[in-house]
Amino acid sequence: MFLKKVYRYNKLLFGGMLFFILMQLFVFYKGGMVFSPWYNYGMFSEKIKPQKRYDWYNVIAPSPTRRILSPQKDDKIFVTLDKFVKLPMNDSLYNHDVGRLFEQAMLSKPSAHHYIYHLDVAAIKTLFAKYSNKAWPNNIDSVDHYTYLRIAPTSVIWNNEALIIDTTSSF
């Protein structure tokens, strides 16, 4: 058995490995919060059914042929928009969970500034213009297009045939 061999060879190495295994099993068993470098690899494992509505960003994108080979570049743009929209989650995570964890560890609740950060819409528009100009060069005449970008997703509706833009949602 592997661990037995490690134990015979070096007790310290064995102790380290045992600790790693126990922590990984603990994080796996609890199934919620993780502690780097112990993670849960459960992406797309919960039940996911087709929804009526999805988020979509009204962005002038280049031809799909240009986009298809570089999902990283797409991610850079859309993940940034998505994460910006989700910034308020920092607040709830800090208010509900960070304090609780520190209290459980008999520590005082740390200052909010470590965990909460707000960025104004003008800054994210500048960042978005920079990303899109780099990722999709020559796609548009000017990044000015994006000064009108609405930094909130629009609803698209799944009608069992295709996703269509919800014309009733405000732009």
Partner 1 sequence: MLAKPFSSHGRKQFTNYYVLLFYCLALYKWLNGIFLYQIGPQFFNTRFDGTTWLFMLTDVHLWLLDNKAGWFIFDGLFYSMPLLYWLVYQKSMKWASLVAVLMLIVNWIYVQCYTLFPTNSIEAHVGWLLYPFLLMAIKPKSFYFLMHAMRYVFLFFFASAAIWKLRQGGIFNPEQMSGILLMQHAQFLVDAPDYWYSKMIYWLIKHPPIGYVLYAGATVLELFFLVGFFTKKYDKFLIALFIIFLITDYLVMRIPYFEVLPLALPLLWSRYLEPKGNGEDVE
Tell which one of 1, 4, 44, 141 touches partner 1 (CB under 8 A): 44
Give least dist CB 141 to partner 1, A.
19
Stretch 140-159 residues interacting with partner 1 (CB under 8 A)? 156, 158
**Residue 1 interacting with partner 1 (CB under 8 A):** no
Instruction: Give the C-alpha separation, 32 to 23, whole Å.
Output: 13
* By the rule CB under 8 A, 50 interacts with partner 1: yes
Task: Write each residue from 91 to 110 as x if it is in contact with partner 1 (CB under 8 A), else as -, in one continuous string.
Answer: --xx--xx--xx-------x
54: which 2 tokens? 């999805």
Residue 78 CB, nearest approach to partner 1 (Å) = 6
Residue 50: CB minimum distance to partner 1, A: 5
Minimum Å gap between C-beta 54 and partner 1 is: 4
Residue 147: HSE in the Cβ half-sphere, 13 Å Cα cutoff: 3
Among 157, 162, 130, smallest CA distance to 146 is for: 130
Q: 11, 15, 83, 150: which one contacts partner 1 (CB under 8 A)?
A: 83
Among 19, 109, 119, 121, binds partner 1 (CB under 8 A): 119
As a residue count, the chain comes to: 171
Q: Hey, what long-range contacts does 59-63 have (CB within 8 A, 24 or more apart)?
A: 59/132, 59/146, 59/149, 60/139, 60/140, 60/145, 60/146, 61/136, 61/139, 62/136, 62/139
